């Protein structure tokens, strides 16, 4: 399946320039050939190329599916970017392949990276969604401080299941055992130096539940992928 991303495809009937370049120059597709297009919000379209052009490939829509591959749950991952940005980008790619809905990069007390390039992360989200044949592209939020994130969620999403993964020796339950199926889930993963004790206490005071991701101590990027996978498994097994 030749899959392309065009968020405004129903309005423009034209592939964006980067996708047009790939279609016309890399794949050398011609008028009359059929392609599939996602809009990033659940729409999957079968289309026929009317004009193959490296800047503005025009199509006609033959069929469309809405809410294609929609999951019975919603997952928001809040993860502190790693000092080595390649590792954070690896997490973004793999979590998108598994499936989640929203990403907030966190700036915490022990964060070693406080700046990211959103346009780079957006490209990885789109590429991974296309590679894994998903019609939903996760939403990327701006870098957010730990305190602001906690305050926003405690006041705006009272019905979400809120979890924080940390390494302190405190009572914690495994995420797989406490994650409710078919619900809105938020999981926070800290930087390489973990959350501070004060951050954990603030989260617990604001309806977050401390969780474990297993017996091993995981790197930030691995923990993010594991959390994503566990939420998916929790929804398959219940």
Tell me the per-residue pLDDT of 64-113, one tens digit each, with 9 for 90 and over: 999 999 999 999 999 999 999 999 999 999 999 999 999 999 999 999 99
Q: Are the beta carbons of 134 and 96 closer than 8 angstroms?
A: yes
pTM of the full structure: 0.94
End-to-end CA distance of the chain: 32
Both tokens assigned to 100: 């989640």
Tell me the per-residue pLDDT of 9-22, one tens digit each, with 9 for 90 and over: 999 999 999 999 99
Per-residue pLDDT band at 155 (split at 50, 70, 90): low
String of DSSP letters for 9-70: HHHH-B--HHHHHIIIIIS---TT-EEEEE-BBS-EEEEEEEE--SS--EEEEEEEESSTT-
Tell me what pLDDT residue 153 has: 74
Strand order in the sheet with 58-65: 3-5, 34-38, 44-51, 58-65
Query: In this structure, which long-range contacts are made by residues 229-232, counting pairs with CB atoms below 8 Å and at least 24 apart in sequence?
Result: 229/98, 230/175, 230/176, 230/179, 231/73, 231/75, 231/100, 231/175, 231/179, 231/185, 231/187, 232/71, 232/98, 232/99
Among 129, 47, 57, residue whose Cα is nearest residue 94: 129
Q: Longest C-alpha distance within the chain, in Å?
A: 62
Among 195, 216, 194, 215, residue whose Cα is nearest residue 204: 195
Domains of the chain by start residue, with CATH: 3-65 (2.40.240.20), 74-236 (3.40.1280.10)
Per-residue pLDDT band at 1 (split at 50, 70, 90): confident
String of DSSP letters for 60-71: EEEEEESSTT--
């Amino acid at each position: 399946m030749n899959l392309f991303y065009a968020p405004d495809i129903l309005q423009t009937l034209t592939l964006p320039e980067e996708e047009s370049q790939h279609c016309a120059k890399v794949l050398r597709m011609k008028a009359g050939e059929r392609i599939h297009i996602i809009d990033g919000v659940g729409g999957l379209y079968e289309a026929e190329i009317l004009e193959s052009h490296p800047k503005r490939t025009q199509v006609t829509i033959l069929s469309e599916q809405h809410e294609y591959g929609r999951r019975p749950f919603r997952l928001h991952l809040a993860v502190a970017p790693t000092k080595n940005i390649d590792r954070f980008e690896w997490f973004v790619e793999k979590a998108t392949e598994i499936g989640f809905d929203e990403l907030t990069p966190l700036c915490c007390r022990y964060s070693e990276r406080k700046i990211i390039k959103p346009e780079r992360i957006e490209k990885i989200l789109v590429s991974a969604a296309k590679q894994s044949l998903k019609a939903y592209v996760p939403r990327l939020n701006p870098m957010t401080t730990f305190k602001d994130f906690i305050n926003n969620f405690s006041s705006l999403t009272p019905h979400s299941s809120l979890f924080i993964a940390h390494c302190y020796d405190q009572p914690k339950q495994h995420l797989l055992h406490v994650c409710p199926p078919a619900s809105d889930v938020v999981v926070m993963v800290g930087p390489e130096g973990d959350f501070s004790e004060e951050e954990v206490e603030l989260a617990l005071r604001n309806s977050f539940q401390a969780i474990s991701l297993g017996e091993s101590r995981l790197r930030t990027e691995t923990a993010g992928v594991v959390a994503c996978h566990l939420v998916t498994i929790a929804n398959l097994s219940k």
